[in-house]
Structure 1
């Protein structure tokens, strides 16, 4: 029986924003995907903060990671690609979503859940001196920086005397008891939307915490260290929080969708004036049932949004969403204590905070505790050795899907030596070397199984990875041919994916001074991408020139393989994955230009890991090497994931490839020496007297470069200490 994953793709669904509704849609989609749909989510960050726990975080009750919706894990669960970028426009005629820094993203159906901001840009100095409470992630970062190292007797100002402002003010006062916290409200009364019982309780808690509330105090602007109030008054403030505005994104006006005060107007089906575009959460205005901007409505809208997105994509009738008229508001009061507002009852106590805490943790559990879908069972009758080849982990992408070093050496051992006089070298170095008039041409190819669902990111990283062999030999990339295998899909979706991949790759080649001149495409079981690259140089830099006394420089941290392997299982934190992809998308071209004039030998660190590639350099140069384990840069989070048992499917073969040729202390950090890298750094043997100058140049160019060891006399062997 065919699995949904084997069916061709025919429609693109794009979720713009990682708000509460979309987070729950991703969870539900993973449990019940719609065959034939390619799902994409666009968000500036790999995670999004949950608003319900933000005051508790400000007060110090929750760590930052406890309130983060991990969009990388949710996207993996849903089988979606996550695009880390900020949407800035929608071309409805061409059905394209604009994301700066990359190609537009095509959609057949799209949904908006981008939240709002508390910014007031029309006021002088607001952008420079006021921290809006929304977007939540930026606010949480700014608050943590301030609260960790506050000035003596800090003054905190909160602009806006609604529930959100007063709740945050009490949280600040609880976290920093020495602070003077003041709420500035433009109206004559604060907390106007609460019932009399809840309002009275909130004011009593403010008095208990020393939170002052000034009414009739409208903000006119801000300067360094003070607020400017209407009427010419000023107020000192070391940290200013803005909660008094609910501002939608300006770019929505250019979409020509029907808007209400800037918010996307939607009907009972959550469709906008364009039936192909839905909206939910704070950015949506429910024309049939206007409601306040509150997270509870975004959460309640998730199920009907999920149903209607599926219906729109499959041609079925849509259903209505009718939100409840009111809801129970549980408002924290600084400490582990809360006030309830509903039915005009004066409910107030610690038990309400415990109730709120359970509600919030239950929501977070929904988006954190994602079920792992078990692979289909093996046939009862099967050939011997099938389990051994499959292993206990899914096959990795990128260089983690390569053939092991031992097997590769055996396969290449039978190749004949070059016979043409213009072929100057064959297998063994990073690239072949051809005579090209008075110069030399390097010739290399690389092809990888997809390690990300994002064609744009894949295109850039694989292009840089393919050029890495040329850079390792000190050559300038010249031209490239692409080889693409696309999973089965409609012609339109195939063209969209190919356009994104090759667009990103062409940009990477242009940055390097090379041209993408053509290639070949085919349909297959899964997405893979490769490039054949030529480069020019006067004298290629090989692996055979390292000398005893040389120092070893590595230009990028290692650990990408273990991070990508853990991400496949939904075990890698989103921020960790994002940093790994950012590192992989960094060109080694400038590093090559810095290293090549000085290096005696150089290679790139890719599929065989740092240890395997260093041993290859040692064998070519007939030397030994020593590594300082503590000096080797490792991607944040990689060592922790390795200690938890995560590793690339290629790791055992890489360890076997180095068996008997190295010694290292046991532990996860040593294991990462064998971790396969995709678009990893350059490894160069340079004269000891030039190390500091070279490192300074590399770091000035943005590389996390380090001197990690030295070349020593003796047969090819690696000692790690």
Structure 2
């Protein structure tokens, strides 16, 4: 998608990746309003589509088929994606608080965080049952339950039940029974020890459906030996049983809770008008009754004029009017009302590939209904996976910004003094050994180099890699520190070089604050701080750091120091180049990027200390030139060779898939020129793993040579310190001069 370079003047934040938000974001991606920065905050990179959840439990779908990849979609749509949990909002100051990020400022806010079953009113329910939502928690429980059944003794009876008689409870239980029976029968084992129950408060199952549907499901439950406990209102849950208001008891070893849901507590705590169940009360425009700059939809919203059940079909149909009204709020246009239908098409499955369709008093059933449901669900999901159908971004209504084409160059392009001052006041203070720095601003920073120490300096800068400024600040700082750690030096101080895209003062201030707070988090963990820097405005975000370090001359590590017999240790996995090249093309799965970011956020600080203490003979950090490029630098002029075990190279999830798709970093062809350093690369023609050798890394690991006697111990220490994929990847030989030999 083409990038909109219109300076951002307004910030629209979506909290939660529910069905309504997914549709609204899709529609806004089709015609994104110019001058609006859009951010989605979600604790899930992949959000489940509830209509397909029973099919996943039954084994008809895999995980990816029923999840919308929010990270991948947002990258394609030009939307900033923040993986975090929202803990609160401040409607007065228009800020959003998150668990692991600084506050976000907004001009317009939309909330679609869903709901979860209310366990709080029933003693013991929280301790002894598993709710159907959050889905991630249910799926973890389901995996454990399958293992328990398959590894258990068939003579041991297991009673499994859902509390709740609605469609969710019935579909989930039928799907579980179907999958467990299928797994046991595949091993020619009995299913007689499994017993299934539905605990229904009302006197009938599926109370919101017509009598024909209820009658059909009563027969399904009877045919499948599922015990229905009607009129059983649970008052207490204990280990292994549920107790009703009248004192009846049902023995249950496994309890799944699927009753009336409630919203999160923070909207009400923030002062939004909410119903007793914690859901935000909204008008016909999906606008908060108490705060017109806040919208809500999906299960977290209660439409006061049109109360409806909490069902996915209503959430999906809120997406289009929500998108229109958010656009209207940003551009001053007229809102449209949303009136949800009273009767809706319901498609409920029976575990196997059979389903019942109903609308009002009518119903139909059959395996063809399941195929119909499947086609509807698959078509919905393709809207978010087949991203080629999205057009190039066509900016909508132009928002006003003062003289957007009259931005100055030179020092006139600096970020304003007042903005800079406000941001710098929020940063942690620098260490006390800084003579002149941000604590005493002057024309330049002054540091006192202790006697007997060497000053080690490095500089790194690059374009924005991920649309999360706080994470990008951390990654850029981690990357810049890598050279200092590779030389066995102790970091001392840092200066930042920041270029921010043109935007309103409020947006520039928030972005600068997130960048520098992210960097400061990494620097503070190394007991150093920022002592100066420079800011400017430009067409894109870039961030770099000059890092100062101190080292004893005799303890300084360099690239040249390899000794015959040394083992080569790599502390972190490879693959960031191809993964983020794929991400830029919206071809990388969101969870690949999420896992890669976790590795990139992992500092080399402890690894450097472990390697230095072990007396490493040589060390470098694996970054832009790729593994072979940096090995070439270590071997240059040594007269030695490295035998590299190709199959032992640690890789990030998704690396091979991206390489097989032919997606390479733009630096990859240049790095390929180092292949002359690989003596026998021709023997591995067609082996995709060889491409990993030339993949440029960002915030990559350390590559060190240690004595063979210490290598295994060093790897153990690294793994114990959190470098879980640290390993020996090769050894130093005298077979060929300055060459890498693949094995």
Per mean C-alpha deviation after superposition, the further-off stretch among 221-230 and 276-285 is: 221-230
User: Structure 1 CA distance, aligned partners of 2:711 and 2:523?
Assistant: 29
Check conservation: 1:608, 1:675, Cα contact below 8 A: yes
Shift of 1:669: 1.5
In structure 1, the partner of 2:501 is 487
Report the CA distance shift for 1:448/1:238 in structure 2 as closer, same or farther (over 3 A): farther
The residue matched to 1:567 in structure 2 has which SS? helix
In structure 1, the partner of 2:490 is 476
Check conservation: 2:457, 2:548, Cα contact below 8 A: yes
In structure 2, the partner of 1:711 is 732
The residue matched to 1:683 in structure 2 has which SS? strand
In structure 2, the partner of 1:160 is 164
Shift of 1:230: 4.6
Are residue 501 (structure 1) and residue 515 (structure 2) matched? yes
Report the CA distance shift for 1:612/1:159 in structure 2 as closer, same or farther (over 3 A): same
Shift of 1:644: 1.4
For residues 494-573 of structure 1, the aligned pairs below 5 Å read 494-538=508-552, 539-573=555-589
The residue matched to 1:5 in structure 2 has which SS? coil
Check conservation: 2:203, 2:231, Cα contact below 8 A: yes
Check conservation: 2:628, 2:674, Cα contact below 8 A: no
The residue matched to 1:579 in structure 2 has which SS? helix
* Partner residue of 1:676 out of 678, 682, 696: 696
Shift of 1:160: 0.8
User: Structure 2 CA distance, aligned partners of 1:670 and 1:229?
Assistant: 64
In structure 1, the partner of 2:643 is 626
Report the CA distance shift for 1:221/1:443 in structure 2 as closer, same or farther (over 3 A): farther
Are residue 10 (structure 1) and residue 9 (structure 2) matched? yes
Shift of 1:242: 0.9
In structure 2, the partner of 1:267 is 283
Report the CA distance shift for 1:265/1:8 in structure 2 as closer, same or farther (over 3 A): same
Q: Deviations over 1:394-447 (max 9, x none)?
A: xxxxxxxxxxxxxxxxxxxxxxxxxxxxxxxxxxxxxxxx98521122100100
Report the CA distance shift for 1:182/1:608 in structure 2 as closer, same or farther (over 3 A): same
Are residue 209 (structure 1) and residue 220 (structure 2) matched? no
* Partner residue of 1:584 out of 600, 617, 628: 600
TM-score, normalisation: structure 1: 0.89
In structure 2, the partner of 1:638 is 655
* Partner residue of 1:688 out of 701, 705, 708: 708
Report the CA distance shift for 1:435/1:193 in structure 2 as closer, same or farther (over 3 A): closer
Report the CA distance shift for 1:352/1:681 in structure 2 as closer, same or farther (over 3 A): same
Are residue 171 (structure 1) and residue 187 (structure 2) matched? no
User: Structure 2 CA distance, aligned partners of 1:132 and 1:160?
Assistant: 11
Check conservation: 2:14, 2:41, Cα contact below 8 A: yes
In structure 2, the partner of 1:417 is none
Check conservation: 1:119, 1:126, Cα contact below 8 A: no
Report the CA distance shift for 1:659/1:525 in structure 2 as closer, same or farther (over 3 A): farther
User: Structure 1 CA distance, aligned partners of 2:621 and 2:246?
Assistant: 65
**What is the total number of aligned residue pairs between the two structures?**
662
User: Structure 2 CA distance, aligned partners of 1:632 and 1:533?
Assistant: 29
Check conservation: 2:175, 2:352, Cα contact below 8 A: yes
The residue matched to 2:323 in structure 1 has which SS? helix
In structure 2, the partner of 1:197 is 212
In structure 2, the partner of 1:142 is 141
User: Structure 1 CA distance, aligned partners of 2:546 and 2:612?
Assistant: 22
Structure 2: gaps spanning 5 or more residues: 182-190, 394-447
Per mean C-alpha deviation after superposition, the further-off stretch among 657-666 and 59-68 is: 657-666
In structure 1, the partner of 2:380 is 363
For residues 244-393 of structure 1, the aligned pairs below 5 Å read 244-261=259-276, 262-272=278-288, 273-371=290-388
Q: Deviations over 1:637-675 (max 9, x none)?
A: 111111111111111110113325443323221101111
The residue matched to 1:38 in structure 2 has which SS? strand
For residues 431-446 of structure 1, the aligned pairs below 5 Å read 437-446=451-460
For residues 76-95 of structure 1, the aligned pairs below 5 Å read 76-95=75-94
The residue matched to 2:117 in structure 1 has which SS? coil
Shift of 1:622: 4.1
For residues 411-426 of structure 1, the aligned pairs below 5 Å read none
Report the CA distance shift for 1:632/1:125 in structure 2 as closer, same or farther (over 3 A): farther
Report the CA distance shift for 1:536/1:156 in structure 2 as closer, same or farther (over 3 A): same
Check conservation: 2:18, 2:113, Cα contact below 8 A: yes
Shift of 1:525: 1.7
The residue matched to 1:194 in structure 2 has which SS? coil
Check conservation: 2:89, 2:96, Cα contact below 8 A: yes
In structure 2, the partner of 1:68 is 67
Report the CA distance shift for 1:119/1:612 in structure 2 as closer, same or farther (over 3 A): farther
Q: Deviations over 1:514-553 (max 9, x none)?
A: 1112211111121110000011121321111111111111
* Partner residue of 2:468 out of 446, 454, 461: 454
The residue matched to 1:363 in structure 2 has which SS? helix
User: Structure 1 CA distance, aligned partners of 2:23 and 2:527?
Assistant: 44
Shift of 1:307: 0.8
In structure 1, the partner of 2:113 is 114
Shift of 1:44: 0.7
Q: Deviations over 1:591-617 (max 9, x none)?
A: 111111221111101101111111211
TM-score, normalisation: structure 2: 0.86
User: Structure 1 CA distance, aligned partners of 2:141 and 2:623?
Assistant: 38
